[in-house]
Structure 1
């Protein structure tokens, strides 16, 4: 998988905004681990592979962390404000979330409750598509840490197809994984295995 990790990092580092966020977070001496993840990473890769500008279609940068001691929205806002201040003029919204506290607001936003995540990795494991269940952080040493629970390659244990469709109010994600297809109604989390 090292080949895929190298390719991922090469593409992500072509994005000036992502390089800036990685650099700022690398030198921030945060009291917890974090990852930059989800759509900003995968969209950058898809844009590169499709020949689009790297920023195309990206609305925000997700910075996730896990602090079980302080679940307050004020702490999330404090970290977000510090990041915004250090980045200055930045083309994307910053979405900074403490994954330890997601269960506190999830039901109000999505219509169903979830159990508290036990770690940052278990939170990423639960993200709604395997393609976006991905996090990268730049360590203080300059090396990168990639967390990809569903792998980066196209081996036997990988996603072979993902789609999201919307028909009226119904939003559905369909993911094919190891010859099994799972369909999730994203509005009420109904799951159907094929």
Structure 2
């Protein structure tokens, strides 16, 4: 079984991932992370012995800044990242405002927001700290992602309406088409 240390090593040894982390770090954003599929896809690609990286629809950079929740700021930041790496489909979101879009109570931080992502296998974030140490955050743990299991985060599992969102996402994402050993866990509510 893969450990958190091994997940960090996979990322550290991947020049492309490290370049994207350095680009995101250069924005100097408060409480920033690259999250979700960036990490999940890397782990699942390795566990499926893929020789090539799975194409991702976007690279999710999140941060937490309640002082400036203007969507235009997110677009400006995406533009800065695009100027550094025009080949990357960047998506930048301020989690201080995303609770409004998601019709939820306010988040207290980016990590709080990550804990409320729909699936445990995507409730992951990685960043470089001030000393360029690679930091992994996994509020729901890493066991599901390394065991190729998809299940709702506790936040989604506790509510029928959120479970419906989870089920719709699972159908839409259809991860098993790309990673055929992935097991999707459904919880009936």
TM-score band by shorter chain is 0.7 to 0.9
The answer to which structure, 1 or 2, has the higher relative contact order (CA under 8 A, 6+ apart) is 2
Aligned to 1:23, what secondary structure does the other structure show? helix
Aligned to 1:185, what secondary structure does the other structure show? helix
Contact kept in structure 2, 1:161 and 1:176, CA below 8 Å: no
Normalising by structure 2, report the TM-score. Answer: 0.74
Gaps of 5+ in 1: 107-112, 164-173
Gaps of 5+ in 2: 169-185
Match of 1:146 in 2: 136
Counterpart Cα distance in 1 of 2:166 and 2:40: 23
Normalising by structure 1, report the TM-score. Answer: 0.72
Counterpart Cα distance in 2 of 1:6 and 1:97: 27
**If you compute each CA radius of gyration, which structure gives the higher value, 1 or 2?**
1
Match of 2:118 in 1: 128
Higher helix share: 2
Counterpart Cα distance in 2 of 1:182 and 1:57: 32
Counterpart Cα distance in 2 of 1:98 and 1:8: 26
* Structure 1 residue 162, shift from structure 2 partner: 3.8
Change (3 A) 1:67 1:54: farther
Aligned to 2:122, what secondary structure does the other structure show? coil
* Structure 1 residue 137, shift from structure 2 partner: 0.5
Change (3 A) 1:186 1:150: same
Higher strand share: 1
* Structure 1 residue 160, shift from structure 2 partner: 7.0
1:9 aligns to 2:5 (yes or no) = no
2:35 maps to which of 28, 37, 59: 37
* Structure 1 residue 67, shift from structure 2 partner: 0.4
Change (3 A) 1:116 1:159: farther
Counterpart Cα distance in 2 of 1:58 and 1:21: 13
